[in-house]
Amino acid sequence: MPNLCTMSDCYIQNKIRTGEWIPSLDTGEVYSNTKKGFLKPTINHHGYKLVSRLSVSHIIWVAANGPVPYGMQIDHINGNKQDNRLCNLHLVTASENQILTRGVLTFAQAQYIRKRYAECNITQRGLAKEYHVSPDVIRRIVNNKTYLKEFTTDEIPKETRDRILDSYRKGRSINSIRNLLGLQQAVVRQIINEELRKEAEAKQEENQ
């Protein structure tokens, strides 16, 4: 069954089909044949890059995979909303996206928060609102009290990964999964992201 095409999806596909836009899947940028250069995006109040009032992540995804299926949303795997490379994008449901957003921040997000705060273009309270965490979490990050070392999930066995994903599918929160398995919240969140990405990549290969 073909995906329904929204007005935004049709607009993007038409821009690409006529050659006016050439999205770069490797860099997450959009080249304009009309302007003879990459389009300079604006940043909205949620921290997403926009071109012609469309999120760049949406443009990149549609360029590679066609219309976004009904009920699905595009999520940034590493948590960086401005990293729109195709390899950093995957599809999640609205409920999945909400759970991931409410989870503990990743190391990459913390590094990006420090960078933005150091550049003095946003307050700690503004960052807290954007990332849906308390101001105290942001304060500890920018003062280097937490998220100082990147973690890996390579040693997490498949059985544990399957339990995490199964619990997540049943609607358990990241915090409850952490308590159930005795893992850090950030580890649980990272594994969910990794497993969802694997599923998205597998489905993409099947459709090719």
φ, ψ for residue 154, nearest 5 deg:
-60, -30
Give the whole-angstrom CA distance, residue 137 versus residue 128: 8
Indicate the average pLDDT of the chain. 83
Are 25 and 70 members of one domain? yes
Q: Domain of 146?
A: 103-150
Q: Which of 35-39, 53-57, 195-199 shows the lowest mean pLDDT across its residues?
A: 195-199
> Is residue 208 situated within a structural domain?
no
Do 25 and 85 lie in a common domain? yes
**Which of the given ranges, 12-21, 70-79, 126-135, has the highest pLDDT on average?**
12-21
Q: What is the pLDDT of residues 171-181, one digit of tens each?
A: 787 778 877 88
d(CA 79, CA 40): 22
66-125 pLDDT, tens digit per residue, is 998 877 888 887 677 888 999 888 887 766 665 555 556 777 788 888 898 999 888 999
- Return all residues near 105 (Cβ < 8 A) that are at least 6 apart: 79, 113, 131, 133, 137, 141, 147, 186
Positive or negative, the CA dihedral 185, 186, 190, 196 is positive
Of residues 196 and 62, more confidence is placed in 62
Q: Is residue 116 part of a domain?
A: yes
Amino acid 63: pLDDT: 94
Residue 16 lies in a domain: yes
In this structure, the answer to whether residues 12 and 80 fall within a common structural domain is yes
Token pair 């649980």 is found at 188
21 pLDDT higher than 90: yes
User: Would you say residue 150 has pLDDT above 70?
Assistant: no
Number of domains in the chain: 3
Does residue 10 lie within any of the structural domains? Answer: yes
Pairing of strands 89-93, 54-55: unpaired
pLDDT at 141 over 70: yes
pLDDT of residue 1: 41
Average confidence (pLDDT) over 135-147: 82
Q: What is the largest CA-CA distance in the chain?
A: 55
Could you tell me if 188 and 177 lie in one domain? yes
Q: Of 69, 82, 60, which Cα lies nearest the Cα of 16?
A: 60
Characterize 119-138 residue by residue with b for buried, 16 or more Cβ atoms within 10 angstroms of its Cβ, and e for exposed: eeeeebebbbebbebeeebb
Question: What pLDDT score was predicted for residue 52?
Answer: 92
8 Å CB contact between 107 and 124? no
Residues 135, 169, single domain; the answer is: no
Cβ pair 199, 169 in contact under 8 A: no
Same domain, 91 and 20: yes
